[in-house]
Amino acid sequence: MTKLPTGIQTFSKIREDNYAYVDKTRDIYNLINNGTYYFLSRPRRFGKSLLIDTISELFKGSKEYFKGLFIYDKWDWSIKYPVIKINFAAGTVRTPETLNSKINFILEDNCKRLGINYNKNIDLYHLIQSAHEKYGQKVVVLVDEYDKPIIDAIKNKVVAAENREILGDFYSAIKASDEYVKFTMLTGVSKFSKVNLFSNLNNLTDITMNKTYGTITGYTQNDLETTFSKHLECANIKKVKRWYNGYNYFSEPIYNPFDILQFIFNDFIFKNYWWETGNPTFLIETLKKSNFYIPDIDRLIVKEETLNAFDVDKIDFIALLWQTGYLTFEKMEQFDSGIEYTMKIPNLEVKNSLNYLFLTYLTSGDTSLPNGSEVSKILKEENIESLIINLKSLFSAIPYNNYVNNEIANYEGYYSSVIYTFLSSLGYFTVAEDVTNRGRIDLTLKTRSAIFIFEFKVDSKEEAIKQIKERKYYEKYQVENKNIYIIGINFDSESKNILEYKWEKI
């Protein structure tokens, strides 16, 4: 059995030491044969660094590492190209001075590796030119984590903008060196505005949403059933798919490699492996400024302009969710007015974690939440009275200052948002603003045996359950042959809790 390449981003090490490798050289071969300048955005831990290193070894002519791979008998191994590798992954860059120092180090390191005399006045343009002259071949320029110096400083708009300008000037040398360049690829997490960052490098072909290269990183279902078949032979593949599959770039759904490798290494324990490696603080800070209604995340339809609205001084919350891997595509539709994308949360890992994050934000993070396993047992037993007791307990535990200091707590949807994120964070199938032919259900919750239909009202004399009955929201689900419960909850904005409730079994 091959070894697991957990945390390994070096192609030569994987091939030399018999680690499992998913062959991406068909995509690489197509890239090289169809263009010169490329840009790819993918979430963290998605295999970007390994992709860049694989391309590097290919152009350097490391034939021995490619034996048995798609590209082996299709590449001219007699030609070796000088490769310039630029990687901003190491360390943190939070000031322009640190960034300039980092760039100088990168230039010096490439000079040493390529045998080119280094001096403090050398820039990327002259490095490319010198490499071409020394080796008599066009130069390959590969950039990994191109955006990290901006992301590192993103909370400080002034510094982030300065770092963006420095990087813009730095990368502009690639276009200026066109006559010397064989191939260029930039990868990163974020897709910053081309107008600001890439105005001087406007010849990049963006393959982020190109279905031809939708699986150029990540693992497909077939990869799990072939490359990792022996590793996963004792795993519940259906559950693995539900937990970790679902990222979609208009090809077939893919897994984040980090999740799969950690899942195998940890003896098939289902955990939020990828989520735990991130820092979602900035996500919440952006949410606070966005007036985003959290349950809307179930049914997002956005235009292309929204997804491209990401820059230092303009960060759209939905664009941030997508670029950081918390949202993915469900489908794309072309209209005369432009392209629209239907978005979704990719899988159970992200859904559970994201909703728990939202819940801690809505409740200020100090709340003693009801026990998840207890609530799961209550829902399994279809015990509505106990469910209401737990929901009352949830709202009672929210500190009063949360309503004072948290702007989102002032709108009517706050109460439904808390319940939605709480139940969703437990892994249940939940639909907010569930559409029927007679209107919208505030919240629908499904379990294996039952369907719970909720209607919420705040400071209203009308019983919430009345609307469910009058509009017969439950008819939508009667074909599923499950127990159906309709639950009307009236909230009181003064006490910040459930004032009254009624429920019936249909």
Q: How do residues 170-194 score in pLDDT, each as one tens digit?
A: 999 999 999 999 999 999 998 876 6
Give me the pLDDT at residue 310, please: 82
CA proximity to 15, closest of 75, 65, 52, 55: 65
Which two three-digit tokens encode residue 2? 């091959």
Give me the pLDDT at residue 362, please: 85
Q: Which residue has the higher pLDDT, 335 or 365?
A: 335
Give me the pLDDT at residue 112, please: 97
* Alpha-helical runs (H) found in 202-300: 221-226, 237-244, 257-265, 281-288
C-alpha to C-alpha distance for 413 and 202, rounded to whole angstroms: 43
Specify the range with the lowest mean pLDDT, choosing from 284-298, 424-438, 448-462.
Answer: 284-298
Give me the pLDDT at residue 313, please: 84
Specify the range with the lowest mean pLDDT, choosing from 63-77, 215-229, 252-266, 417-431.
Answer: 417-431
Q: Locate the domains of the chain by residue range.
A: 11-213, 221-276, 279-344, 363-505
pLDDT at residue 195 is higher than 80? no
Give me the pLDDT at residue 35, please: 95
Q: Which fold has domain 11-213?
A: Rossmann fold (3.40.50)
Specify the range with the lowest mean pLDDT, choosing from 142-156, 200-214, 280-294.
Answer: 280-294
Give me the pLDDT at residue 398, please: 83
C-alpha to C-alpha distance for 55 and 248, rounded to whole angstroms: 23
Mean pLDDT over 110-137 rounds to 96
| DSSP track, 42-75 | --TTSSHHHHHHHHHHHHTT-GGGGTTSTTGGGS
| DSSP track, 114-126 | HT----TT--HHH
Mean pLDDT over 132-142 rounds to 98
CA proximity to 36, closest of 59, 69, 12: 59
Mean pLDDT over 122-149 rounds to 97
Mean pLDDT over 97-126 rounds to 96
pLDDT at residue 410 is higher than 60? no
| DSSP track, 205-251 | EE-TT-GGGTTSSSB-HHHHHHTTTTTTTTS-HHHHHHHH--B-SSS
pLDDT at residue 387 is higher than 60? yes
pLDDT at residue 416 is higher than 60? yes
What is the pLDDT of the chain when averaged over all its residues?
92
Burial of 251 (0-12, 13-18, 19+ CB in 10 A): middle
Give me the pLDDT at residue 90, please: 86
Give me the pLDDT at residue 411, please: 58
pLDDT at residue 407 is higher than 60? no
CA proximity to 87, closest of 114, 67, 72, 109: 109
Which two three-digit tokens encode residue 40? 């790819």
pLDDT category of residue 282 using cuts at 50, 70 and 90: confident
| Residues in CB range of 121: below 8 A, 6 or more apart | none
Q: What percent of the chain has pLDDT over 70?
A: 96
pLDDT category of residue 401 using cuts at 50, 70 and 90: low
Which two three-digit tokens encode residue 222? 């077939």
Contact 215, 254 (CB under 8 A): yes
C-alpha to C-alpha distance for 328 and 245, rounded to whole angstroms: 11
pLDDT at residue 405 is higher than 70? no
Which two three-digit tokens encode residue 43? 């979430």
Give me the pLDDT at residue 404, please: 52
Instruction: Please state the φ and ψ torsions of residue 83, each to the nearest 5 degrees.
Output: -115, 125
* Cα angle: 110, vertex 187, 54; to 5 degrees: 65
Cα of first residue to Cα of last residue in the chain, in angstroms, is 54
Instruction: Please state the φ and ψ torsions of residue 294, each to the nearest 5 degrees.
Output: -55, -45
Give me the pLDDT at residue 305, please: 87
Correct CATH for 363-505 of 3.30.300, 3.40.1350, 3.40.50, 2.40.128: 3.40.1350
pLDDT tens-place string over residues 435-446 = 898 899 999 999
Give me the pLDDT at residue 239, please: 97
pLDDT at residue 68 is higher than 80? yes
CA distances from residue 151 to 102, 130, 173, 214 in whole angstroms, order as listed: 15, 31, 22, 24
